[in-house]
Amino acid sequence: MRVKYAPVSPAAIVETHMFPRSQRLRSSITLLGRHWTITRQHARTLMLSQKTVVGPGSCHSRSWLQLGMIALACGLSGYAIGTGITTVPLAHSDTADPHYGSPADFEKAINELRAVFNHDIDSVSTDPEDLRIHGFSENDYHPGAPHTVVVYPRSTEDVVKTIRIATNYRMPITPFSGGTSLEGNYRGSAVGGICIDMNNMNKILAIHEADSDLVCQPGIGWMEINDALQQKGIPLFFPLDPGPGATIGGMMSTGCSGTNAVRYGTAKGEWFLNATVVLPSGEVIKTRQRARKSSAGFDVTKLFIGAEGTLGIITEVTIRLAPVLPTTVAVVQFPDVKRATEAVIDVMNRGVGIQCVELCDSEFMRSTNLYRASERKYPEKDSLFFKFQGPTPASIAETAKIVEEIVTKHGGTGFELAKTEKEAKDLWADRKNALYSGLALVEGSRGWSTDVCVPVSKLPELVYETKKDLSELGLVSTIVGHVGDGNFHALLLFRNDQELATAREAVHRMVEHAIKMEGTCTGTVELMRTIKRIIDPLWLFNPGKLYPDRRTNVGKTSSR
């Protein structure tokens, strides 16, 4: 991409032109009152100003301003930013296949890794069982593939060394942390590659109690952090709680949520203050300082939240902490999901102290009784689990009383408030065991965990349509949801390829229903692809995830 500069009227608009594939791609853009003409010599080569080159031989991220400019100028695929902007989709610049190394190249890379990490023989593994564990999962439906080698770094420097070797030999790189993903985030590439397991980087590096933040490595779990804070007598905790075993690196990379989302939001809020990231170029960046507020430029930290390891490897994170407040738990049953959701809307609009509110359908309650993690026997009806929060026991009791009155008005029955701390923990544990109790419904089954979100008022309709579709298709499923923000998960159970195909059809229907109800389904995939191409032009970082590869060539490397 050659960038030529000439002054032009600030009123000029952005125009993106599409040429036949045989011609050079060209676009023009007005930024900050200056006109830039941009030409692309080749679909996978970008030439920037100041002679910065990003292509098969190098991948330098010189300026985040350049990144922002190019994201606007290239491949917007019909999306406009600003007023008076018109765009026409550019030809996909990643239609050229990613060129990965050959098996012989991968073998050379393994030998080089062993030489680099010869001081620590446990840092590099090609043990077949190790490769299988890191490339497959029993927790989801995604097809797995073994990695070629697993590397266990102990520092940011170790990650840099690994990435440079991977880049030299064109090896895909997949980060691995807690291994709790239900979405296949750490599955191996079909061509093999390097799995970077962050479990040795599992330390708390600093606790700043006065600032309510903590610096840690990516391999430590959120539960371990909260346990450590409790043991030190520090009245703070990290409130994101996606599931047992999840680690900070994976939570940031997947943009996690959790049952506390109603009160504390998700990973895409302000819970990650900064991160140290190793880019595909081998360059190490720190996304910002520890200060809570920074108005200069866009928040680079958020670029890596939800990126699933496709843009860089996270090696250090600063997280915000929240004050620990007393809590307790209650459960109540409803005639149907509609009335349960109406009760939640009423409760949330009262502004009472709710930390969590979870919808569990009748099938989930049946599965919980079958799984028997606790001694409790639940009515097998659509139910709500509440977690109340407040500064004093009196405030919690007042909240519980208000909520009980509201749910009763909406047809709720059997409202039960935990009487002891143990009873509250047992009640909440039954909700947190959703995956394992759901799988207990069908012996030998696997689960496809779905995730959609709609405006809260539309949730009853979406759940009804989903349950109707599942019944018509003959699928067994449980439904749980963070009903306070309109989000729910259906766990679709299947035992064979035929049932998997049926589950896939059900998921497509669910997404269509959600979109019609103004719900979630990303519409910015091409813009994300554009950012990916700029930061990782060799397409080495976690290929096939988030924005799936169109095609893959193995053993057809460019010049090296």
Residue 560 lies in a domain: no
Instruction: Identify whether residues 102 and 243 lie together within a single domain.
Output: yes
CA angle 406, 410, 413 (to 5 degrees): 85
Distance between start and end Cα atoms, the chain: 21
What whole-number distance in Å separates Cα of residue 137 and Cα of residue 145? 10
- DSSP letters spanning 348-386: HTTT--EEEEEEE-HHHHHHHHHH-SSS----SSEEEEE
> Would you say 553 and 105 are in contact if contact means Cβ atoms under 8 Å apart?
no
In the chain, the number of structural domains is 3
Instruction: Identify whether residues 32 and 80 lie together within a single domain.
Output: yes
Q: Which of 93, 115, 130 is the last residue of a domain?
A: 93
Instruction: Identify whether residues 86 and 105 lie together within a single domain.
Output: no
Which pLDDT score is estimated for 456? 87
pTM of the model: 0.76
Which pLDDT score is estimated for 403? 97
Specify the CATH number for the domain of residue 307: 3.30.465.10
Strand, helix or coil for residue 250: helix
Instruction: Identify whether residues 108 and 183 lie together within a single domain.
Output: yes
Instruction: Identify whether residues 305 and 332 lie together within a single domain.
Output: no
Strand, helix or coil for residue 390: coil
Instruction: Identify whether residues 73 and 192 lie together within a single domain.
Output: no
Residue 223 lies in a domain: yes
Beta strands 553-554 and 487-494: pairing type? unpaired
What whole-number distance in Å separates Cα of residue 250 and Cα of residue 520? 22
Specify the CATH number for the domain of residue 432: 3.40.462.10
Give CB contacts under 8 A, 24+ apart, made by 113-122.
113/149, 113/151, 113/162, 113/165, 113/194, 116/161, 116/165, 117/151, 117/158, 117/161, 120/154, 122/152
Instruction: Identify whether residues 20 and 137 lie together within a single domain.
Output: no
What whole-number distance in Å separates Cα of residue 124 and Cα of residue 113? 7
Residue 320 lies in a domain: no
Instruction: Identify whether residues 184 and 86 lie together within a single domain.
Output: no
Instruction: Identify whether residues 74 and 119 lie together within a single domain.
Output: no
Residue 117 lies in a domain: yes
Instruction: Identify whether residues 292 and 376 lie together within a single domain.
Output: no
Instruction: Identify whether residues 248 and 158 lie together within a single domain.
Output: yes
CB atoms within 10 A of CB 419: 9
Q: What residues contact 32, with CB distance under 8 A and at least 6 apart?
A: none
- Token pair for residue 118? 């010869």
Enclosing domain of residue 402: 327-516
Residue 556 lies in a domain: no
Note down pLDDT in tens along the chain; length 560 residues.
333 333 333 332 222 223 233 333 333 333 333 333 333 333 333 333 333 333 333 343 333 434 444 343 333 332 222 323 222 232 333 434 568 999 999 999 999 999 999 988 899 999 999 998 888 776 666 677 889 999 999 999 999 999 999 999 999 999 998 877 766 677 788 889 999 999 999 999 999 999 999 999 999 999 999 999 999 999 999 999 888 889 999 999 988 888 898 899 888 878 999 999 999 999 999 999 888 777 777 889 999 999 999 999 999 999 999 999 999 999 999 999 899 999 999 999 998 999 999 999 999 999 999 998 888 899 999 999 999 999 999 999 999 999 999 999 999 999 999 999 999 999 999 988 888 899 889 988 988 888 888 998 898 899 999 999 999 999 999 999 888 888 888 999 999 999 999 999 999 999 899 999 988 765 567 788 889 999 999 999 998 887 765 544 444 444 33
Q: Which of 283, 312, 341 is the last residue of a domain?
A: 312
Strand, helix or coil for residue 156: helix
Q: Which of 57, 77, 93 is the last residue of a domain?
A: 93
Which pLDDT score is estimated for 63? 39
Measure CA 274 to chain center.
17
Residue 533 lies in a domain: no
Residue 445 lies in a domain: yes
Instruction: Identify whether residues 110 and 80 lie together within a single domain.
Output: no
DSSP label at 446? E
Residue 140 lies in a domain: yes
Q: Which amino acid is at 114?
A: R
> Would you say 67 and 46 are in contact if contact means Cβ atoms under 8 Å apart?
no
